[in-house]
Amino acid sequence: MTRVMRRVAELATDRFHLRALRRSDLAALYPTMADEETALYLTRPAFTSHGELWHWLAARGWPGRTWIAEDRESGTVAGRFTAVPARQEGVEEIGYIVCLDRRGQGVARECTAALVRHLFSDAGGAARKLVAEVDTRNAASVGLLEWLGFTREAHLREYEETHAGMCDVYLYGLLAAEIDRVPRG
């Protein structure tokens, strides 16, 4: 079954091309999304099949946008980056996940910085604020957001019940006026 994805502008960094999701990306994304340790920080358990993952990635009615980071040199998929309209006008929630074999290589820094700049631009929707919700135990994600210049705005205790139990969550925010905080990647 073919599903219509929300259009995304193609973005480029020094090492990556960020483009729309394709069904062929499943092979690269599945090992990460099926990984039990990775799933500790997801709101759902690890995926158990390509079909289940595709149904989630390409869900009809999902209001967000997905970019796939593709290595410009090798053409391999390095991660998935998202933006979802929040409840308030002009606010987008960002998300990111880097493929297991690319972790620790600066993929998230480079690609998320490019996405943040894009979302604040007219071409990206001219958001007034970006937010991110992160499990407090996810040190890599906390470090990324703080490196990007996001401010921790809240610590919500036992905020979200997931397959892993009750989780504490940090809420981070970055205002468009703070774009100068965002490193170039």
pTM of the model: 0.92
Percentage of the residues of the chain whose pLDDT score is greater than 70: 96
H or E, element range at 57: helix 50-57
φ, ψ at 97 (rounded to 5°): -150, 130
Q: What does the mean pLDDT of the chain come to? A: 92
Biggest CA–CA distance in the chain, Å, is 43
Q: Give the confidence band of 5 by pLDDT, cuts at 50, 70, 90.
A: low
| Residue 138, pLDDT score | 93
pLDDT tens, position by position, 24-41: 999 999 999 999 888 888
Q: Give the confidence band of 4 by pLDDT, cuts at 50, 70, 90.
A: very low
pLDDT tens, position by position, 108-117: 999 999 999 9
- Two tokens, residue 70: 């593709």
| Residue 160, pLDDT score | 80
| Structural domains of the chain ordered from first start | 11-181 (3.40.630.30)
| Sign of the Cα pseudo-torsion (91, 102, 62, 5, in order) | positive
Q: Which of 1-15, 42-56, 119-133, 160-174 has the lowest mean pLDDT?
A: 1-15
CB atoms within 10 A of CB 86: 15
118 or 123, greater pLDDT: 118
CA torsion 157-160-161-166 (nearest 10°) is -20
With a cut of 70, say whether residue 185 has pLDDT above it. Answer: no
Q: Helix (H, G, I), strand (E, B), or coil: what is residue 99?
A: coil
pLDDT tens, position by position, 7-20: 899 999 999 999 99
With a cut of 60, say whether residue 161 has pLDDT above it. Answer: yes
